[in-house]
Amino acid sequence: MSSMDFVRVSAACPLTNVADIEFNLNNIKLCIGRALEQKAKLVVFPELCITSYTCADLFEQQLLLEKSVEALKNLCDYSKDIDILIAVGAPLTYNCCLYNCAYIIFRGSILGIVPKSYIPNYEEFYEKRWFTEGLKVIDEKVNFYFQEDIPFGTNLIFTCGNFKFGIEICEDLWTVVPPSSYLCLMGANIIGNLSASNEVVSKSTYRRNLISSQSARCMCSYIYSSCGVFESSTDLVFSGDMCISENGAILKSGERFKRENQVITTIVDLGRLAGQRLRNVSFRDSVKLFLEKPIEVKFQFETMDYGKFDRAVDKHPFVPSGKDERELRCREIFNIQTSALAKRVSHTNLKRAVIGISGGLDSTLALLVTVKTFDMLKISRDNIITVTMPGFGTTDRTYNNAVDLCKSLGTELREINIVDACLQHFKDISHDREIHDVTYENVQARERTQIIMDIANKEGGLVIGTGDLSELALGWCTYNGDHMSMYSVNCSIPKTLVRYLVRYVADKEVSKNISDILIDILDTPVSPELLPKDKNGKIVQKTEDIVGPYELHDFFLYYFVRHSYSPEKILFLAKQAFKNDYTNDVICKWLKVFTKRFFTQQFKRSAIPDGPKVGTVSLSPRGDWRMPSDASFNLWMQK
């Protein structure tokens, strides 16, 4: 198994003729061939695809059953020299009962047979006329003329290293507790569903929702394949619906009602699933409570080569790609932020808020959140004290944007120049003002924090923090300076998302003049403005020139914290996502910077103020991220 834990899988829907086994088998082989061309290691076919699903009373014909077994023998012979696991549907006669089964075939042998656990017998389905439920079939053995002692049961898991494949069949997914739930608790991370689900209006949407929610609940990949349009249409129509889901997301889906062989293929990430299960305490507790042991049928792929890596990798994983979804997400985030701040304001019974405004993105977002909160609480906006504190590096552009925004929003604006106070402090601590080092910068950050903290004490207000998640991850803040506040509304919002939130307000919620100010703020380079501006009054200290592009750091953060990926895997995915934006050397350079800063700056995160969790990644020391401040980064820096 590749160290990346990626594997390519397929779902297939072959052309079929009802009860025409030779025709069906030939098309199954064609689909297998196509899956092989696409480098798939697993292909899942529809329910009873060897015979076709709609044979009805023909399932009692001995000739059909005998020819079905011969077709399985033929398929085993066909598979001898190909490196792919095949899951096909066919009937099985066992102990005078007929079972609807999935046959798992690999390199010339049937590895195991899984019966359908639940047999539908309501509305349009009447399978119990022919088939016996396999719910309690475990640890049995089946003998054919060409192979003996084939494992038969519902608790089979087909295993190759980290690849652990379990099976359920059609109706099984629709039950209260699907067999796949138990299989996943027993270790399966890929579930195949061989199905024959007919079409009625809106059923396909319900079916997709069911598949994606089951893959999310079980933290697995789910491969679904249903029989196609050439089944009998006496009473029902089938569409050949297929989809592949992973942990709640549909990765690939087929086109329904196709009149040709169809194969869909995608890469699934077993490492991601393992990380999710390891982190989820409820899943682990469920495993401990569930005592049944699986029958592991072990086999070995010759290679785990998945060919060209064509799995979509979003370069901005915190930001929805679709405009409509992005707007919904922004609205929801503002609701979370404003509800959290409203609770803190009402709990403390403080009617005033104090915010340091720089003309940058983060303080702008914090101000917009505070304004919306005060409007919601019906507190006048002039109770929001906005303080702009020009220093050595403050440019006219950021200063004017800060002043214009506060005036346009109707807040109380105070201007306090910190230059004289900082010069006095340099004198007090014997620091040469011409030495523009970290002391020079941090003096300014702490002076600003002291001012707004003291104003809050004097006015009976709450200091609103402005720092974001990306800055916390990198430790890009001054300890007990901008690092500190009385409530931090942006603490779990990454920089890439901050931009979209401000843009959302500019586009949707404010007047034209305020929108123009916000757009100019969006176009301003990210900078703490702690170093003197150049001779033309422009910003010289650009954050991304120093610590690297925030879009890269947010990408690294997402996969390091959310999925616990190794640096090797993060680097691999980053190269895929940003191949048109950065060279491999540049990506590698900034990943090392991220790793080193993330570890060495934990002491700042261990002392951050309260603030609401907004997304799936949070670095709060009280909840999501508990890390020793003196942990070594050496292991993560090794090549």
SS (H, E, C) 410-465: CCEEEECCCHHHHHHHHHHCCCCCCCCCHHHHHHHHHHHHHHHHHHHHHHCEEEEE
Tell whether 303 is covered by a domain. Answer: no
DSSP letter, residue 31: H
Q: How much is the pLDDT for 291?
A: 67
Place of tokens 């929001």: 384
Place of tokens 């590895």: 111
Instruction: Note the pLDDT tens digit of each residue in 289-346.
Output: 776 789 999 999 999 999 999 999 999 999 998 889 999 999 999 999 999 999 999 9
Which residues, at least 6 apart from 52, have a Cβ–Cβ distance to it below 8 Å?
A: 16, 17, 18, 19, 20, 24, 227, 230, 231, 232
The fraction of the chain above a pLDDT of 90, given in percent, is: 89
Amino acid at 289: L
DSSP letter, residue 509: T
Q: What is the CATH number of the domain that holds 249?
A: 3.60.110.10
- Asked whether residue 582 is marked as a ligand-binding residue, the answer is no
Could you tell me the maximum CA-CA distance found in the chain, to the nearest angstrom? 101
- Token readout for 51 is 């015979």
Amino acid at 523: D
The residue from 298, 331, 354 where one domain ends is 298
With vertex at residue 457, the alpha carbon angle to CA 451 and CA 461, rounded to the nearest 5 degrees, is 100
Tell whether 306 is covered by a domain. Answer: no
Which residues, at least 6 apart from 146, have a Cβ–Cβ distance to it below 8 Å?
A: 73, 76
Range 361-377 burial, b when 16+ CB lie within 10 A, else e: bbbbbbbbbbbbbbeee
- Token readout for 520 is 């100019």
Same domain, 409 and 526: yes
C-alpha 546/C-alpha 509 separation (Å) is: 34
Tell whether 317 is covered by a domain. Answer: no
Tell me if 99 sits within 8 A of 92, measured CB to CB: yes
Q: Around Cβ 480, how many Cβ atoms within 10 Å? A: 14
Amino acid at 119: I
- Asked whether residue 388 is marked as a ligand-binding residue, the answer is no
Same domain, 331 and 264: no
Give the H or E element holding residue 639: none
- Asked whether residue 360 is marked as a ligand-binding residue, the answer is yes
Tell whether 223 is covered by a domain. Answer: yes
Same domain, 386 and 294: no
Tell me if 42 sits within 8 A of 190, measured CB to CB: yes
Q: Around Cβ 612, how many Cβ atoms within 10 Å? A: 22
Q: How much is the pLDDT for 623?
A: 86
The residue from 298, 333, 348 where one domain ends is 298
Q: How much is the pLDDT for 6?
A: 95
Same domain, 264 and 389: no
Range 577-607 burial, b when 16+ CB lie within 10 A, else e: bbeeebeeeebbebbbbbbebbbbbbebbee
Which 3 state secondary structure label does DSSP give 316?
coil
Active site residues: 47, 116, 170
Tell whether 310 is covered by a domain. Answer: no
β-pairing, 295-298 vs 461-465, is unpaired
Which residues, at least 6 apart from 206, have a Cβ–Cβ distance to it below 8 Å?
A: none
Half-sphere exposure of 421 (CA within 13 A, CB side): 15
- Token readout for 332 is 């929801």
Which 3 state secondary structure label does DSSP give 20?
coil
Q: How much is the pLDDT for 292?
A: 76
Query: Which of 393, 380, 353, 368 has its CA nearest to residue 525?
Result: 393
Same domain, 436 and 402: yes
- Token readout for 142 is 């089946």
Query: Which of 19, 294, 22 has its CA nearest to residue 153?
Result: 294
C-alpha 627/C-alpha 621 separation (Å) is: 8
Kindly report the pTM of this predicted structure.
0.91
Same domain, 624 and 484: yes
Q: Please name every residue paired with 144 in a beta bridge, in sequence order, or none if there are none.
A: 147
Same domain, 389 and 267: no
C-alpha 370/C-alpha 356 separation (Å) is: 12
- Asked whether residue 325 is marked as a ligand-binding residue, the answer is no
Which 3 state secondary structure label does DSSP give 52?
coil
- Asked whether residue 476 is marked as a ligand-binding residue, the answer is yes
Amino acid at 310: D
- Asked whether residue 234 is marked as a ligand-binding residue, the answer is no
C-alpha 488/C-alpha 466 separation (Å) is: 6
Q: How much is the pLDDT for 639?
A: 64
For 348, the domain range is 323-637
Tell whether 525 is covered by a domain. Answer: yes
Which 3 state secondary structure label does DSSP give 494?
coil
Across the chain, what does the average pLDDT equal?
Answer: 94
Instruction: Note the pLDDT tens digit of each residue in 114-162.
Output: 999 999 998 888 899 999 999 989 999 999 999 999 999 999 999 999 9
- Asked whether residue 280 is marked as a ligand-binding residue, the answer is no
Same domain, 262 and 356: no
Same domain, 282 and 330: no
- Asked whether residue 154 is marked as a ligand-binding residue, the answer is no
Query: Which of 496, 458, 456 has its CA nearest to residue 609?
Result: 456
Same domain, 350 and 497: yes
Same domain, 374 and 230: no
Give the H or E element holding residue 95: none
- Asked whether residue 434 is marked as a ligand-binding residue, the answer is no
Tell whether 246 is covered by a domain. Answer: yes
Query: Which of 83, 74, 8 has its CA nearest to residue 263?
Result: 8
- Asked whether residue 471 is marked as a ligand-binding residue, the answer is yes
Mark the ranges of the chain whose per-residue pLDDT is less than 70.
1-3, 291, 639
Q: How much is the pLDDT for 537?
A: 75
- Asked whether residue 174 is marked as a ligand-binding residue, the answer is no
Q: Please name every residue paired with 104 in a beta bridge, in sequence order, or none if there are none.
A: 87, 112
Q: What is the CATH number of the domain that holds 501?
A: 3.40.50.620
When divided into structural domains, the chain yields a total of: 2
Strands, E assignment, 504-590: none
- Asked whether residue 442 is marked as a ligand-binding residue, the answer is yes
- C-alpha distances (whole Å) from 81 to each of 29, 76, 625 are 13, 10, 49
Q: How much is the pLDDT for 534?
A: 78
- Asked whether residue 478 is marked as a ligand-binding residue, the answer is yes
- Asked whether residue 604 is marked as a ligand-binding residue, the answer is yes
DSSP letter, residue 315: S
Q: How much is the pLDDT for 1?
A: 38
Same domain, 359 and 292: no
Tell whether 343 is covered by a domain. Answer: yes
Give the H or E element holding residue 471: helix 469-474
C-alpha 635/C-alpha 154 separation (Å) is: 42
Express the helix, strand and coil content of the chain in percent, nearest 5 each: 40, 20, 40
